Amino acid sequence: MTQFTTDVEEAVRSIPAGEVRSYQAVARAIGRPGAARAVANVMARNIDPTVPCHRVIRADGKLGGYNRGGEEAKRAILLSEGYQC
DNA sequence: GCGCTGACTGTCA
DNA sequence: ATGACAGCCAGCG
């Protein structure tokens, strides 16, 4: 586990339920603007239940991806949390 | 230390 | 508006 990963997890954990943040926004929050791809990489490899990675979507409003059932599951979770996509 | 990969992003055609 | 291309960053072999 690297510091970068830890920072990403913390930033994602700070996202309130029903809200979403783009990978770029998270990257900026941890002081690495432009590292959106690296952030996505952390999400993809690190499956941590303490991190609401389903609240992290693309900057264009698309869901992006999910390691636990694909975009369908992600969309379902977001809907159940109150996020209208 | 080098090069490839990916749940991305912004720009151009 | 939709698709293709290039740029950026961290992790891994």
Closest-approach nucleotide to residue A54, Cα vs C1': B7
What percent of the residues of chain A are helix, what percent strand, and what percent coil, each to the nearest 5?
50, 5, 45
- Give Dmax over CA atoms of chain A in angstroms: 34
Q: Which nucleotides of C are covered by protein (CB under 7 A)?
A: 7-12
Strand B contacts (Cβ < 7 A) comprise A 22-24, 36-41, 43-44, 47, 53-54, 56, 58-60, 62, 64-67, 74
Distance CA A69, CA A78 (A): 13
Structure tokens at A32: 């690495």
Which CATH fold would you assign to the domain A3-81? Arc Repressor Mutant, subunit A (1.10.10)
* pLDDT tens column, A15-74: 999 999 999 999 999 999 999 999 999 999 988 999 999 999 999 999 999 998 999 999
Reported in sequence order, the residue ranges of A1-85 that DSSP labels E, i.e. its strands, are: 21-22, 56-57
The domains of chain A are located at 3-81
Per-residue pLDDT at A21: 97
pTM: 0.94
